[in-house]
Amino acid sequence: MATIVMKFGGTSVADIERIRHAARHVKREVDAGHKVCVVVSAMSGKTNELVAWTREAAPVHDAREYDAVVASGEQVSAGLMSIVLQEMGVPARSFAGWQVPIETSDAHGSARITNIDPKLLFDRMSAGLVCVITGFQGVSPHGRITTLGRGGSDTSAVAVAAAVEADRCDIYTDVDGVYTTDPRIVPKARRIDRISFEEMLEMASLGAKVLQTRSVELAMAKKVRLVVRSSFDDPDQVPPLGENGDWQGPGTLVCDEDEIMEKQIVSGVTSAKSEAKITLRGVKDNPGVAAAVFGPLADAQIVVDMIVQNISDDGKSTDITFTIPDAEFDKAMTVLKEAGETSLEFDSISGSKGGAKISVIGVGMRSHAGVAASMFRALSDKGINIQLITTSEIKTSVLIEEEYAELAVRALHTYYGLDMEEA
């Protein structure tokens, strides 16, 4: 029999009725004889509400207490899921992160899982119990409650799956798999049957929030078999996993590239809004100048994304442009102006909020030239101006004005032949 981790996201546990529905998926696997760990998110909207309360209590506050507050949503879901399972005759108990324990770093608000001792989970599963574990949270080396960053329950699920050597980690959510682009923005998006870890990693980090980026990183590193599927399916109409955890039901399998027969040049299109752009002009072109710009930003915990440095005309000075989240714009401007008075020489600084990063992703790009050029052409045909460009082996990203994001995604989706055929 197989060991399965089943993760249910916020919409899938939004109220008691939905929790009952999700619990029926769990019961199906238990009845088939599998050992099951369940990982739950907070009920949808709950985490946002908790975050807002901490801000209302004090705009700047103790990150440890922020975690104590926002982690509570998952505890409610875990308890309710256990109650509902018990009522269905399925032996179950809830575990908070610290009870497992899910050990993490002490980076409150975006902690990393460092270790999960599976002993307790093995014991309880062997005794026939479903272990219902709070997603999103863990415990720091100082014994404090931590959280893993928004969307972190996916990462909890994959980490638990790796720890208990699960045959499968099923991410049940409000869509029935990973799509070529966000199906809520492009109704013609197509569900992908199999996607490689590399492509999924790029899609997640470039804006497809269906999986948290770290969960994909971890699944790739630990070789966890990861499936994204719908919690809204009728639990009695989809088959349980086979004896060895083999896959029979619907959804998207995230797997090694060599398990995918047909490789697409472009597999997906993503957009990430709220990107701000900052340009430093006339920066002295000396060794160490990039470190002088980006060091203070890193010290201020500001994550920089796209970076472009121009070659100067005179060989003495250069222009540097980069992007950061809109929310960090004011802080970054202040940090750089302060650096300009001490360690960094430049002529002027300017910037703006409200950009969108649009990306096309596909492993086929490795062996096909010209994807970037065709992307630029498709955007220019729609009159969309490109402000910045970055590329890697399997993706090309451009920064454009936010108001054109949807138009750009739809245009590229059609251009690369990803639209679903009309019925």
118 bridge partner residues: none
The radius of gyration of the chain's CA atoms, rounded to the nearest angstrom, is 23
What torsion, rounded to 10 degrees, do the Cα atoms 100, 105, 110, 115 define?
A: -40
Contact 199, 268 (CB under 8 A): yes
Which residue ranges are tagged as binding site for substrate? Answer: 47, 74
Comparing CA positions, the residue from 38, 1, 5 lying closest to residue 222 is 5
Which residues does 339 contact at the CB level (< 8 Å), separation at least 6?
A: 292, 293, 296
Q: Which of 113, 268, 123, 109 is nearest to 202 (CA)?
A: 268
Please give the residue ranges that form the binding site for ligand ASP (CB under 6 A). 9-10, 41-42, 47, 73, 135-136, 150-154
Q: To the nearest whole angstrom, how small is the minimum distance from the Cβ of residue 44 to Mg ion? A: 10
Pairing of strands 168-173, 194-196: unpaired
Smallest gap, in angstroms, from Cβ of residue 178 to ligand ADP?
5
Name residues whose C-beta falls within 8 Å of residue 249's C-beta, 6 or more positions apart in sequence: 229, 233, 238, 239, 241
Q: What angle do CA 248, 250, 256 make, to 5 degrees?
A: 75
Q: Decide if residue 170 touches ligand ADP (CB under 6 A).
A: no
Asked if residues 100 and 122 have their Cβ atoms less than 8 Å apart, the reply is no
Rounded-to-integer distance, Cα 375 and Cα 371, Å: 6
* Nearest to ligand ADP of 140, 213 (CB atom): 213
- The residue within the footprint of ligand ADP, chosen from 55, 119, 184, 382 (CB under 6 A), is 184
Binding residues for ATP: 7-10, 173-174, 179, 184, 209-210
CB 84 within 8 A of CB 16: yes
Cα dist. 164→30, 103, 360 in Å? Answer: 16, 15, 35
From the list 56-64, 208-216, 356-364, 375-383, the region that binds ligand ADP by CB under 6 A is 208-216
The residue among 9 and 268 lying less far from Mg ion, judged by its C-beta, is 9
Which entry of ligand ADP, Mg ion, ligand ASP, none binds 152, CB below 5 to 8 A by partner kind?
ligand ASP
Binding site: which residues? Answer: 7-10, 47, 74, 173-174, 179, 184, 209-210
Of 9 and 73, the one with the shorter C-beta distance to ligand ADP is 9
Binding partner of 135, given ligand ADP, ligand ASP, Mg ion, none, CB within 5-8 angstroms per partner class: ligand ASP
208 binds ligand ADP (CB under 6 A): yes
Using CB under 6 A as the binding rule, whether residue 322 contacts ligand ADP is answered as no
C-alpha 158: how far from chain center: 12
- Could you say which of ligand ADP, Mg ion, ligand ASP, none residue 42 binds, taking C-beta under 5 to 8 angstroms by partner kind? ligand ASP
For the CB of residue 168, give the shortest distance to Mg ion in the complex, in Å: 18
42 belongs to the binding site for ligand ADP (CB under 6 A):
no
**x/- track of binding to Mg ion for residues 114-153 (CB under 5 A):** -------------------------------------x--
The minimum distance between CB 153 and ligand ADP, in angstroms, equals 7
Interface residue list for ligand ADP (CB under 6 A): 9-12, 41, 151, 173-175, 178-179, 181-184, 208-210, 268
Interface residue list for Mg ion (CB under 5 A): 9, 151
